[in-house]
Chain A
Amino acid sequence: MFPEFGLFSLILAWLFAFFLAVVPLTGVIGKRESLQRTALGFAWAVFFFNSVAFAILIHAFVTDDFSVSIVSQNSNSLLPWYYKFSATWGNHEGSMIMWVFMLSAWMVSVSLFAQTLTTELKAAVLSVLGIIAFGFLAFILFTSNPFARILPVPPAEGSDLNPLLQDIGLILHPPTLYMGYVGFSVAFAFAVSALITGRFDASWVRWSRPWTNIAWAFLTLGIALGSWWAYYELGWGGWWFWDPVENASFMPWLIGTALIHSQAVTEKRNLFKSWSVLLAIFAFSFSLLGTFLVRSGVLTSVHAFTSDPNRGLFILGILGLTIIGSLILYAINAHKIKTSGQFKLASRESFILMNNILLVVIAFAVLFGTLLPLLADLFHWRKLSVGPPFFNVIFNILMVVLLALLGIGQLLRWKKHNLKSWWPFFIAAGAGAIVIALVLPWTLTGQLHWQVWLGLALVFWVIGSLVKAILDRSQNNASMMSAMRKAGLGFWGMWLAHLGLVISTTGVVLVANLDIERDFRMAAGDSVEMDNYRFVFDQVSQQQGPNYTAQKGHVSVFRGDREVAQVNPEKRYYQVKGSVMTEAGIGGNLFRDIYVSMAEPLNDERTVWSMRLQVKPFVRWLWFGAILMAAGGILSITDKRYRMAVKGGRS
């Protein structure tokens, strides 16, 4: 009986989403406050019934209810409970339920935390979210019912979860990423509400900023988790492939990053208003586009999802209504947005504008690169691929400019900045960065790569500027400590996020240029020297997992006489689906990872293996940097002015 309750609950959620989409919005347009006030109740109802449906689906997975079709296709009684749990969202239908569940969770958080919001704006925001929820619930109900049953004879056993997904990565990565994707719906809803109500005052941005930051922080973490997951789970040591699905998560991140910056200008200087509205629409549109690309099957990706053209059309329809609808509103109403105020080229505004231009150009270059194979195929021009060689070039060029400008921009004042007294600093910092970036890697590795030089020069340039930013703040203060406190959390959030960017950049630059990879023919007892490390292949043992058998390599890694790592790469064989997985053995510290994978057996007895040995310097920095960025995003919204706003509402 339980699954039918789930479906029923979903239908109720859909019904209430309909009311939420229609009633309060009618109230907003007709200026009837009694109707506007219904938003809260409807939002909670949508949240409640969504939660019930999601909980029931999780219950079906955890209790092995194989009569439910997606459980039987994506789970197995042999799975450990936590993978049964995460298998709930390891498939199309379940992940859509999670998507809508999160949307409804964002809805109720808006109603909880935005108590000082005018009734009108709150009603409009919740209503817009209601429209989105309505569309996606319809999508689930009509094309992807997660509670569909196999009756009357349910299978006794499930056909197992894709081994790639049996991992801590699946437990963490999709929920985090989705929180980010869906989170942009709030900024979107605020922007659309502003367009509907025609009020574009400062309070709109002030309200929308914390939500943008939280969503962005989640998205940052989600992407980093995905990259880390691919790194250790796919078995080849790659951490970014420019795969369409990765690009689909990266584009909203780029636009979201631009949005965060532009909203800062809008809040502080009341400029770029129309632009912030547009970016908010685009950030969420790109999130939705990601959902479409992953599920429609129009592109090939390593991260395959069940794809279905009918679902594709339905979801395209929903996206069309949401995105095109909001852009029509924008085209009609955006001219009402009044902007006043000037700024000079040497000002924070203009550098943030440059930041926005670069980020948006990168996002659209990535979009076009991702879609060109589809376009070329569609119009029968030719069949082609666009991959890392293109994306790396365009991304790197624009990132170089972005980082160079960041070093200046983050120091400037609003409106107009007199650069005259700053030239000595800029010249000293620039020259220092170039020299250090040349000398440091050269003395440490004895190698010279112009890419490393350029990358590290930019890193040191931004670090110099980050230090200067602190020194500037402490100039007029008695002690360093009081200056730190006075700077405000907004400043520290920015500082931390920019530091994170620098740390990630360091990781990317070093691992991309200095990593070493070799394939060796190894049997037990063999050893090999590579990059000052000695790898000793001790033995291959047989391993029995809960739902797989594996051959496990035991490799000791020495530096000189000191053992620095013991790694255990595995070749796993999953019986139920008959699939083979390569599990890398990773031993690492802050400065490098030792990455060993068993590529393939070279003899029939499976005693001699082709072993891929890699040393990856600073690879962890790229994820660590992402954590700092996310932390910075969160930190800046704990700033006094946002807290006061919340308190003000409660008192």
Chain B
Amino acid sequence: MVWSKRALFSLMSCWISVVAVAATEVLTFDNESFRERYAKLTYELRCPKCQNQNVADSLAPISEDIRHKTYEMLHQGYSDQEIIDFMVARYTEFVIYKPQLSIVTIWLWIIPAVLLLFGLLLLWRFTHSQPAVEDITLTEEEEQRLKTLLEDKTE
């Protein structure tokens, strides 16, 4: 338990420091738009080694590398798409949570759209159908059941 001894040491040492010092950010960005883009990119990139985590939240070393590379490329002036392409070229499409549009992924949008249209068609048919003349004579059995049901209700 080496690190717990170290922790103990740190515990002792922190009694000494009383003066509050302003902390610095772990990452500093040249401008706010870099910060936002960094947050978005690391949120949408998937850690290639973890179960199912984005690189922003993952503590895996590879996620740290990807975060670092993203940060670097942002400041070198690459666009978001270039950064994503760079990662995909190395780690495959597996690492992007936002699927690139392709013959496979287009169905993600087509299927809900078709279902929705189908639903609207149903709605239109239901609300615009002509009153159908339905035969509603009950069988003897049904009559009997209706009776018992009504009795239940009026109790």
Contact = CB atoms under 8 A, between A and B. Distances in A.
Do A and B contact each other directly (Cβ–Cβ < 8 Å)? yes
Interface of A: 116, 199, 201-203, 234, 236, 238, 241, 243-244, 300-302, 304, 338, 340, 342-345, 347, 350, 353-354, 357-358, 360-362, 364-365, 368-369, 372, 376, 381-390, 394, 398, 517-529, 536-537, 539-542, 549, 551, 573, 582, 599-600, 602, 604-607, 610-611, 641, 644-645, 647-648, 651
A457 B113 CA distance: 25
A528 B108 contact: no
Nearest to B124: A345
Nearest to A344: B127
Contacts of A517: 39
B19 to A, nearest CB: 6
Contacts, number: 206
Contacts of B153: 641, 644
B79 interface: no
A644 B11 contact: no
A515 to B, nearest CB: 11
A365 B7 contact: no
A606 B7 contact: yes
Given A244-B52, A365-B108, A521-B23, 10 more contacts: A302-B50, A340-B134, A360-B119, A372-B99, A385-B46, A385-B94, A386-B105, A387-B98, A524-B17, A525-B21
A382 B93 contact: yes
Most buried by A among B9, B18, B20, B46: B20
A365 to B, nearest CB: 4
A398 B113 CA distance: 11
Interface in B12-59: 13-15, 17-27, 39, 43-44, 46, 50-54, 57, 59
A365 B131 contact: no
Contact of A340 (B18, B19, B54, B136): B136
Contacts of A604: 6
Nearest to A607: B10
B14 A540 contact: yes
B20 A345 contact: no
A582 B26 CA distance: 18
B149 A203 contact: yes
Question: Across chains A and B, which 10 residue pairs bring their CB atoms closest together, nearest first?
Answer: A387-B97, A357-B119, A524-B14, A389-B98, A525-B17, A607-B10, A526-B23, A365-B112, A519-B26, A236-B57
Given A364-B111, A542-B11, A549-B1, A384 B99 contact: yes
Contact of B108 (A244, A369, A611, A645): A369
Given A361-B115, A390-B98, A606 B10 contact: yes
Nearest to B64: A600
B119 A361 contact: yes
Contacts of B4: 542, 549, 573
A551 B95 CA distance: 33
A301 B51 contact: yes
Interface in B115-133: 115-116, 119-120, 122-123, 126-127, 129, 131-132
A266 B96 CA distance: 44
Nearest to A367: B111
B10 A525 contact: no
Contacts of A116: 152
A350 B126 CA distance: 8
Interface residues of B, number: 70
Contact of A368 (B23, B108, B119): B108
Contacts of B94: 383-385
A552 to B, nearest CB: 10
A369 B98 CA distance: 11
Nearest to B2: A604
A576 to B, nearest CB: 14
B49 to A, nearest CB: 11
A527 B104 CA distance: 50
Given A361-B112, A372-B105, A523-B17, A539 B99 contact: no
Contact of A525 (B20, B24, B52, B108): B20
Interface in B74-107: 92-99, 102, 104-105, 107
A610 B26 CA distance: 7
Contacts of A353: 122-123, 126
Given A343-B126, A385-B97, A549-B1, A518 B25 contact: yes
B57 A365 contact: no
A384 B52 contact: no
A183 B96 CA distance: 37
Nearest to A602: B26
B14 A539 contact: yes
A526 B21 contact: yes
A493 B120 CA distance: 28
Contact of A520 (B8, B23, B98): B23
Contacts of A529: 22
A383 B99 CA distance: 11
A372 B104 CA distance: 8
Nearest to B97: A387
A354 B10 CA distance: 61
5 contacts: A345-B123, A382-B104, A385-B93, A525-B20, A604-B6
A536 B111 contact: no
Most buried by A among B7, B13, B155: B7
Nearest to A575: B1
B145 interface: yes
B87 to A, nearest CB: 12
Contact of A376 (B17, B20, B104): B104
B26 A520 contact: yes
Most buried by B among A358, A365, A537, A645: A365
